Amino acid sequence: MKHYLLTWYGMTDLRAALALDATDGPVLSALRTGDYTDVVILAYTDSGKTGPSAGAAPPSSGLTRDEAQCVTDAVSNTPAGHDLFAAWLTKSLAAGGLTVRVRVVPQELTHINDAAGIHSAASTAVRMALSDPSEKQITTYVSPGTPVMAYTWALIARSNPQLRLRVISSSDPRRPPEEIALPTSLLNPSIGGAGSIGATTRDYDLVIHLLGEQVMPIFFALRQFAAKRHVILTTRGYLDEVDRLAKVTAVEPDPVVIADPFKPADTKKAITALVASMSDGVRVAVNMTGGTKLMFAGALSACWALGLDPFYFEIKNHNVIFLRDGTQVPFVGISDVEDFLRAGDYHAVTAGHWPTQNDSIKNRRLPATEELWRRRDALRSLYKERSFLEFSNKYDRHYPRHERDDLEFSFAWGGGEASLNQGGNPTLTLKGTRLAIPKRDFFPFIAGGWLEEYVYSLLRPLVEEGVVRDVRVGFEVGHRQDTSAKHEKLAQEFDCTFTDGKRLWIVECKAGPVKQEAIQKLENNLRQYGGIAARGIIVSSFQLTDANQSRIDSIPTITGIDPNGLTTDALRLIIKAAQ
């Protein structure tokens, strides 16, 4: 009798194949602990990526963390990456004395949570197993991949009960996967009863949320649904997050502690108890976006058994997808930049609001920012000057901050000169033209602040159009627990940031050369401060190198702009393309 394993493979598997992590990865770990004869592996393919040439093996030893990430990004979701993973897996199985037929099936998706493409791929995998005339057992593995990939296996099982699909999952690759028992009611053709929700009904008496490491999906849902009651299922380690969410959303969700987030039965039991405590006919929805994958599995099982309405936040198109009937509604959205920070337990140290007074320093400097942009080629050599780099380090380290404007300096380079003498006026000359600039913050302005302010001038018309909201410049963010510090340690400073009403945008402005660290920093900031929906833009005053452009192209959340095409129209197109 044959035994088929159907699964996606993910980043953890790829990193194992690249020898970047000292693990087997979920797929190989599952195959080592089972009696499988065949494995069909679905491979998410990004049509916009070319990846390395066939047969090119990227280096994987002696790399820094950022270099390892660059290697992973270069090969992930590409045909070359799939070939590399398949070859490594086949070799590893043979080395372990296991005979397993490996088939990797590429599937192009429009984005990582392309539900239609994911369903098509999963259906193909099932048909491949069914086409084998031998007697067989079919097992689906829900751990690798996204939650949408996981619930698709369950939906296929629900609509095809005759297949008797076995479902396994694992929270720890060092331990064998466990079987998830699909309840009989999950396999029923339809769900009825007093708790059934109509396809067009979007008001609920109770919304249940699954809380794990990702707080933002809960934050979105608390804003999205004005339910009579919200309940957050979580573990004791995240109870503080529940209290904080209550403060920042003005909603008071009730926490319910589950014993083990890696046992689907615990999540299902908690949801069943909540519904049983309410009167007949209540309208109940479950936010499936947060929590662990095994919490997801338990919650989905409870939804089908009890007639509840599961929903999922789909980030690409900013829609809420109701899993029962596939209908979608748009996000309610967030208009305040600081709302995103509060959700992550950060706060504004320097608000970064643009001043409204016409005689303010920034408004008086705006004509100079436009002139510096036009003459940016004259600044090229300044940012490589040794004296400039040494003074920049001295300036950043000097305390108290209010004395920094009195620090003297004098730079001369091929394109011009800049100086500041104590008690005198600052001077900046570019290609023979002297620019009038106020003394306050003169050095940080010529060191790169001018580009941040120029980008603001391009974004300002988009604020008036309603395309973006709440633009901040020089926005400094701190950890909530650091507020009492004498010299507060900054978590991060954003050059420009704003919201389009749905997601946080961060703009990294580089007046000098762009280094790989700046791109990595922006990617990390998007993930940490903006959550799953955030987007970023790299603005450089000089052309990006081929290596930088390639790195940016490999990150779906970041867009780089050719400086020769930096306009308000270009920014508008980038922002609207993500909406």
User: 191 in helix, strand or coil?
Assistant: coil
Instruction: Determine whether 484 is exposed, middle or buried from the number of CB atoms within 10 Å of its CB (0-12, 13-18, 19+).
Output: exposed
Residue 332 has pLDDT above 80, yes or no: no
Q: What phi, psi does 542 have (nearest 5°)?
A: -125, 160
Domain 206-332 maps to which CATH number in 3.40.640.10, 3.30.930.10, 3.40.50.10770, 3.40.50.300?
Answer: 3.40.50.10770
The region, left, alpha or beta by phi > 0 then psi within -120 to 50, assigned to residue 260 is beta
Domain boundaries, given as residue ranges, for the chain: 2-182, 206-332, 333-579
Q: Identify whether 261 is preceded by a cis peptide bond (ω within 30 of 0).
A: no
Is pTM, for the whole model, over 0.85?
no
Same fold: 206-332 with 333-579 = no
| CATH fold for the domain made of 333-579 | Trna Endonuclease; Chain: A, domain 1 (3.40.1350)
Domain 2-182 maps to which CATH number in 1.10.12.10, 2.40.10.10, 3.20.20.140, 3.40.50.10770?
Answer: 3.40.50.10770
What integer pLDDT is reported at residue 321 of this predicted model? 85
What integer pLDDT is reported at residue 488 of this predicted model? 45
Query: What does the pLDDT average to over 434-452?
Result: 93
Query: Dihedral sign, CA of 389, 393, 398, 402?
Result: positive
3-state helix, strand, coil in the chain (%, to 5): 40, 25, 35
Residue 484 has pLDDT above 50, yes or no: no
**Per-residue pLDDT tens over the stretch 178-222:** 887 655 444 443 333 333 333 334 689 999 999 988 888 888 888
**Per-residue pLDDT tens over the stretch 91-139:** 999 999 999 999 999 999 887 778 778 888 998 999 899 888 888 999 9
**Per-residue pLDDT tens over the stretch 373-417:** 999 999 988 998 999 999 999 998 888 888 898 899 999 998 999
Instruction: Give the helix/strand (H/E) hosting 72.
Output: helix 65-75
Q: Are 245 and 215 in contact (CB under 8 A)?
A: yes
